[in-house]
Structure 1
């Protein structure tokens, strides 16, 4: 991935100063463990069959280890309160109320505990949130490592990595990852790496090592949501830099020109890739998603279920995936959950718009835009997931830098008084 992606490029302006006492390297390990927890345990068939119980043990063990390590790094429980973390904590209320019902089952309480530990770990990490790019680099390293694992699976077993039951789309052959997951990770890595180049925090060659293979993997997943989220998110993020960055203006102009040429020259190929061999009818109802959504909304519910939901579950309805964050939150955490999640997205988006133009702000806008777009066909905004981790990264980029600590009295320089003033 190149040293420049982890430490600023030569001749580039220095990155934002770290928080009080600096950011320990072990914080990056905590962030990676949180990412491992969100990879999930269900997906494609792997080369070596992995029992789901073993994968769940690994992901949950990663979350417990992340919390324990964060607590060891922050034993005095120093935190930086924010509206994002407050609203995320508030989301636990409808989750717990719905999940403690006798007929819900133990699985809902288990997921509530997982969400609580996930949120608690973010609170502990907030001590090092300073509006700098440290966590952006953690994010790129973490998800690029996942993409390297996907590429290794493709090289080892191409047939398993591109199975027929997924329409020949790329999946995880060594770890059970679905095409939308891989597409999401690739899009996030590409977007953040491009913004680091525009902000002169890394070199173009260093970023190309990350961006080019990620683009190839994204194309092989045929994931429309991730592609649209990447393009729209980058347009909004770069647009926020246009007035203050000549590099952003040049990149924006070239991107528009190349996109126009590609749309004209390869329109039929792009249309075929976008449709993925589906009929117009199947594409119109979003590959069957609309039928599940209609059935979920038509389901009779009691007042309590409408307000608090039915408890945290596997984001499915009648055995079919919901594939919509807002409907999944409504189903599991009720109208209160929908209001809290909407407030969370609106607040963090509003804070991003009110911040002055900067590279951290542009990265935050990209992440928020991507999550908002993906929420229409993906789930995750109401539970411990990669999407909440993206939004947590955005929140860390929008934190105002902490004021410098006051000097001890003995170190405050004293003004020398002239002799004539002493009389």
Structure 2
């Protein structure tokens, strides 16, 4: 019972971390929510997550984790660049938020044992978020699919953008598919998650999430093909279905993918390339090149950067880029060295999804859902914790055989 209670508390901490990373900027909601109120809720969730994690792990037992260690090192260029106040006092506030976020991950690392516990927490929490999106769409379809976003699905109850919703949907779809293939959940329960998530993903028209889902699943299932007959069958069926869909619905799929954009707009990645070129062409001091300009809102010249690598370069410099690259390389390398297993497949899916999304989405250098995805991957790649003896065996007493002594552990 105590173990179940602890597991629920850990799941609550994870849910609070997810709430903290939902953000405060997005579409207009049915009931207008002041941004200050949303920020108070999200930051309060992070403080509550840290306090609860500390309460559950009072002895401060943590597991060695290269992933969290590299995140801790990422705080160094963040603080150095933010201390100049070039980005204002908000940069120091974001540093404090990142420190609290990383500290909570350290406290949770005690329960990283290579199992699927955090995968299930991840699916449940993001499915609840998607439930709020679906509820908003039912209550007010006009607010959920406004013309401002080209009719794409947004959060009408909580301000979520189409890329956010697409990301959450794609991640839980991929993880749930892998759980089915590993026979860790039944098909009925999986369908209850996958089908509505697919509908929401389609309504967001999010190309990055769709591509990340397809490529991530292909790599993850590919890692299971040699050891899982279910994975082989699913792969063959998926290829056949994709071929039929491409032939029968090719024009519709192309229209969905282009979203009514011109060839020029599509080739410039919806204007992202112009911001990227301007950011790279901007003059920088040696300090800014090495440590960045300080943690900000992931924008340049008032426009979103929408690229994790350039956002990290702008805010944390080449030092931050090196550390983030080390995170992806280390997690990917460890995943490749692990023997085939469901945990390894889930980790490969999450790592590859984050790597693909990093090209058109920011978030790898600050507290974000992408760092939570990678944290789940790190928990899946952790070696199972060794059993710790409750007491140290004593030397046999003289004249009394060791096997005849009463056991101290009942």
Tell me the TM-score normalised to structure 1 length: 0.92
Does 2:326 match 1:364? Answer: no
8 Å CA contact 1:37–1:63 kept in 2: the answer is: yes
In 2, the alpha carbon distance for the partners of 1:221 and 1:203 equals 28
Between 20-29 and 87-96, report the one with greater CA deviation: 20-29
For the pair 1:333 / 2:309, whether they are aligned, the reply is no
**Of 136, 156, 175, which aligns to 1:173?**
156
Q: 1:25 to 1:173 in 2, by over 3 A?
A: same
Q: How does 1:142-157 map to 2 (within 5 A)?
A: 142-157=125-140
Matched, 1:404 2:392: no
Contact 1:198 1:247 in 2 (8 A): yes
Aligned residue in 2 for 1:119: 102
Name the SS for the 1:117 alignment partner. helix
CA contact (8 A) 1:187 1:227 kept: yes
Decide whether aligned partners of structure 1 residues 256 and 51 sit closer, same or farther in structure 2, where only a CA change above 3 A counts: same
Question: Deviating runs (4+, > 4 A) in structure 1?
Answer: 20-23, 409-417
- Conserved 8 A contact 2:98-2:367: yes
The reply on whether 1:244 has 2:227 as its aligned counterpart is yes
1:21 shift after superposition: 9.9
1:300-319 aligned within 5 A = 300-319=283-302
Matched, 1:294 2:277: yes
Give 1:403 shift: 1.3
Aligned residues: 399
| CA separation of 1:411 and 1:188: change in aligned 2, threshold 3 A | farther
1:25 and 2:8 equivalent?
Answer: yes
Task: Give the structure 2 partner of residue 13 of structure 1.
Answer: none
Structure 2: segments with no counterpart, 5+ residues: 405-410
| Superposed CA offset, 1:250-309 (max 9, x none) | 000100010011111111010000000001111000000000000000001111111100
Determine helix, strand or coil for the equivalent of 1:24. Answer: helix
1:9 corresponding residue in structure 2: none
Q: Give the structure 2 partner of residue 377 of structure 1.
A: 360
2:145 and 2:151 in contact (8 A); partners too: yes
SS of 1:25's partner is helix
Alpha-carbon separation, structure 1, partners of 2:255 and 2:4: 53
Matched, 1:62 2:74: no
Cα distance in 1 between the residues matched to 2:300 and 2:390: 59
RMSD: 1.8
Please point out which of 255, 259, 262 is paired with 1:279. Answer: 262
* Matched residue, 1:222: 205
In structure 2, distance between residues paired with 1:412 and 1:148: 60
The corresponding residue for 2:175 is 192
Query: 1:23, 1:128 within 8 Å by CA — same for their partners in 2?
Result: no
**Which whole-Å deviations, capped at 9, do the CAs of 1:43-81 have from their partners, x for residues lacking one?**
000000000000000000000000000000001100001
How much has 1:404 moved relative to structure 2? Answer: 1.8
In structure 1, C-alpha distance between the alignment counterparts of 2:109 and 2:368, rounded to whole Å: 18
Query: Residues 86 and 294 of structure 2 are in contact (CA less than 8 Å); yes or no, is this contact kept in structure 1?
Result: no
Q: Distance in 1 between matches of 2:160 and 2:194?
A: 20
Q: Unaligned stretches of 5+ in structure 1? A: 1-19, 418-423
Contact conserved, 1:42 with 1:176, CA < 8 A, in 2?
yes
Shift of 1:25: 1.4
CA–CA distance in structure 2, aligned partners of residues 249 and 406 of structure 1: 42
Cα contact 2:16–2:46 (8 A) shared by 1: yes
96-105 or 267-276: which moved more?
Answer: 96-105
* Match for residue 63 of structure 2 among 73, 80, 83: 80
C-alpha contact (below 8 Å) 1:36/1:59 kept by paired residues = yes
Match of 1:110 among 71, 93, 98: 93
Distance 2:157 2:182 in 1: 35
Seen in structure 2, the aligned counterparts of structure 1 residues 280 and 78 have a Cα distance that, compared at 3 Å, is same
Native 8 Å contact 1:337 1:382 kept in 2: yes
CA–CA separation in structure 2 for the residues paired with 1:330 and 1:260: 40
Aligned partner of residue 252 in structure 1, secondary structure: helix
1:140 matched to 2:120? The reply is: no
Cα distance in 2 for partners of 1:238, 1:400 equals 22
Alignment match, 2:142: 159
Aligned to 2:407: none
